[in-house]
Amino acid sequence: MSDATRGRPIAARFEPLVSGRVLLALCGLLAFALALGTPIAAASKAPTYDHCTRFISELGARGTPHGVLVGLAGFLPTGLFVLGFCALAGRLHGCLPGFMSFSAVGFAYVAAAFFPCEPGCPVSGGPAQQVHNLLGSLEYLGGAAGLAVLSVRCSSLPSWSRAFAVVAAGLVLLSFALMLLPDQAPWRGLWQRFADANLFGWMGGLALWHLTRAFAAAGTPAHHPPKDRSP
């Protein structure tokens, strides 16, 4: 036990580790891990899947052998963790408009579980495909708008996070535009992954920062009023 924590009540010492800060960190880091791991794991069961040319949501498309599993065990929890992150971050940092806009990322992932795309993820299609396309577009437009607002208006964020947010917002919009261009079809999967890397990279970075701050707070000595030494 370090000198910093010696003498503190056990409950007080670990209080920072069960705070909203840690829950925020867990939501952000789990969302990051699922967003990274789900496409890799699902693609390993689809030998013809190409990460360069195919959208991520095609792994959960209707009619694919593992589509339902990918949606319910991959996309759904990813979206829920993003929504949890946004709710807790809005509470801790304020800046509700920015985090509400960024929560479009979470809603899009949840929608991908219940409104899977058709094979090939076409621009046109049935009602479910149209809902999928709409919320998929909102993921990138809303996520980028949220990052832009947070970079300008949220002074409670660390300076590196605000700088990351403004750069990521521009890169997300650029990637989204490129993935929709017909001549970029051979690379649309990579453009989508680059956009997601910026969205989830910013969120994962902020989540990790909160986790380190929580552990630092757990090791900070408590401040007690001086004892009265009068006779």
| Residue 44 within a domain | yes
Is residue 9 in a domain? no
**Model pLDDT, residue 121:** 87
Query: pTM higher than 0.95 for the full model?
Result: no
Q: Compare 220 and 59 and report the one with higher pLDDT.
A: 59
Please check whether residue 42 is in contact with residue 59, taking contact to mean a CB–CB distance below 8 angstroms.
yes
For residue 52, the enclosing domain spans 14-218
Q: Where do the H-state alpha helices sit in the chain?
A: 10-14, 20-43, 67-70, 76-93, 96-102, 104-114, 127-153, 159-180, 188-218
Q: Which amino acid is at 100?
A: M
The number of domains in the chain is 1
Span 23-71, pLDDT tens digits: 999 999 999 999 999 999 999 999 899 999 999 999 999 988 899 999 9
The answer to the question of residue 3 being in a domain is no
The tens digit of pLDDT for each residue in 94-151 reads 899 999 999 999 999 999 999 999 888 888 888 889 999 999 999 999 999 999 999 9
Q: Is residue 5 part of a domain?
A: no
- What does residue 64 show for φ and ψ, rounded to 5 degrees? -75, 150
